[in-house]
Structure 1
Amino acid sequence: MSLHPRRAAWRFQWATIAWLTVVWVLLWGDVTWGNVVNGVLLGLLVTLGLRMTPVDFHGRVHPGALAVLLGRFVYDLVRASFEVSIVALRPRYTPRGAVICVQLRSHSDIYLTMTAELVSLVPGSIIVEAHRLTGRLYVHVLDVETSGGIEKARQNVLDQEARVLRALASDDELEAAGLGRGLRAVQGVAG
């Protein structure tokens, strides 16, 4: 953490401008001086004109846990796509959906958002509402039977949050969420 918050903010701004420039050049599909200069100007316009509230991120990336998070996400994506296609193609079957409330362990905006996005990207579930002050997600589950029941669907969301926290949270944030970094925590990732 920098002793000078303005310097840290500008360092982040330049990284954002560089990223927006790369995206601009990729969208045009041609690396020219004009595209690069226009990308930088557009990046400056966006970062200076559309001020965003700062997001507090006190964690760090844990490469092993990040690999587990991404691998499990891909697995869930493929499995859920198959399950949703079976539900959709089943003749005369009416799925029994439900909206469940899941109380997350962390109240951090960034972890709540990442958990909500990852849950929504998996077919068969979508976030209906998120309460950032209470740390609650309301999730619509397409078919409770296919999901293994309401408690299993709720546990799937909590497991996803645990993988996000283990991949990106600081040790203090993990302890506050009740997820230690020891052997017990690694065994919990596999579930």
Structure 2
Amino acid sequence: MSVEPAATRLRHQGPLIVWLVLVWMLLWGTWSWANLLSGLLVALVVLTLLPLPHVVGGTRVRPLPVLTFLGHFVVDLSVSGAQVAWEALRPGGLRSTAIVRVQLRADSDLLLTMVAEATSLVPGSLVLDLDREQRVMTLHLLPVRDLEDVERKRAHVLVVERRLVQAFGSAADVAALDGQQRDEVATP
């Protein structure tokens, strides 16, 4: 196990320290120098005793694709929420559900996690399993009308993946996704 220099570790964990201090201040409910300094001390102790691994792959944040993703995500939440509510309230109850597997294309742990979280947050879809090595996500979907609806929802997961890669992926992630999509289109 290699020991990294303190300056490098602090640079990588700086945003986390700020976040922990902010949470500490919010928990106390008042701003004071004592709360700020004690929050900083607690954050440093926590990160020293419980160090987190670095996220590999360097994430980029692209503002326009982030806004695009968020806009579509809010629409997905609204539409899916209404569909699930209707299924729960309508006479006759829930008609059909499906469990499907989706072959993801992103190879970053962070991006795979983001796709799984964004998918699970939308009502009517729940991630049951995410196989990291094979990049296969297993989902429970409701409601589904027919096989075409299942395929539409499976394809929508790939659209969400694309939006997240464009918003947060590295240049290599975006290029790899574009290359894979060209290969899928070229292969009948």
Distance 1:83 1:94 in 2: 11
Aligned to 1:188: none
Query: Amino acid of the residue matched to residue 157 of structure 1?
Result: V
Aligned to 1:140: 140
Query: Amino acid of the residue matched to residue 83 of structure 2?
Result: E
Aligned to 2:69: 69
Distance 2:157 2:147 in 1: 12
Query: Amino acid of the residue matched to residue 32 of structure 2?
Result: T
Name structure 2 gaps, 5 residues minimum. 181-188
Give the drift of 1:19. Answer: 1.4
Q: CA separation of 1:6/1:147 partners in 2, compared to 1, >3 Å: closer, same or farther?
A: farther
Aligned to 2:24: 24
TM-score (norm 1): 0.85
Contact 2:83 2:143 in 1 (8 A): no
Contact 2:107 2:173 in 1 (8 A): no
Aligned to 2:156: 156
Query: Amino acid of the residue matched to residue 88 of structure 1?
Result: A
Aligned to 1:108: 108
Give the drift of 1:135. Answer: 0.9
Q: Counterparts of 1:159-170 in structure 2 under 5 Å?
A: 159-170=159-170
Give the drift of 1:61. Answer: 1.3
Q: Counterparts of 1:44-63 in structure 2 under 5 Å?
A: 44-63=44-63
Distance 2:13 2:29 in 1: 24
4+ residue stretches of structure 1 with deviation over 3 A?
4-8
Distance 1:147 1:111 in 2: 28
Give the drift of 1:22. Answer: 0.7
The root-mean-square deviation of aligned C-alpha atoms, in Å, is 2.3
In structure 2, the residue corresponding to 1:101 is in which secondary structure?
A: strand
Q: Is 1:36–2:36 an aligned residue pair?
A: yes
Distance 1:5 1:41 in 2: 20
In structure 2, the residue corresponding to 1:106 is in which secondary structure?
A: coil
Q: CA separation of 1:5/1:42 partners in 2, compared to 1, >3 Å: closer, same or farther?
A: closer
Query: Amino acid of the residue matched to residue 124 of structure 2?
Result: G
Contact 1:59 1:173 in 2 (8 A): no
Q: CA separation of 1:156/1:126 partners in 2, compared to 1, >3 Å: closer, same or farther?
A: same
In structure 2, the residue corresponding to 1:70 is in which secondary structure?
A: helix
In structure 2, the residue corresponding to 1:43 is in which secondary structure?
A: helix
Give the drift of 1:125. Answer: 0.5
Query: Amino acid of the residue matched to residue 96 of structure 1?
Result: S
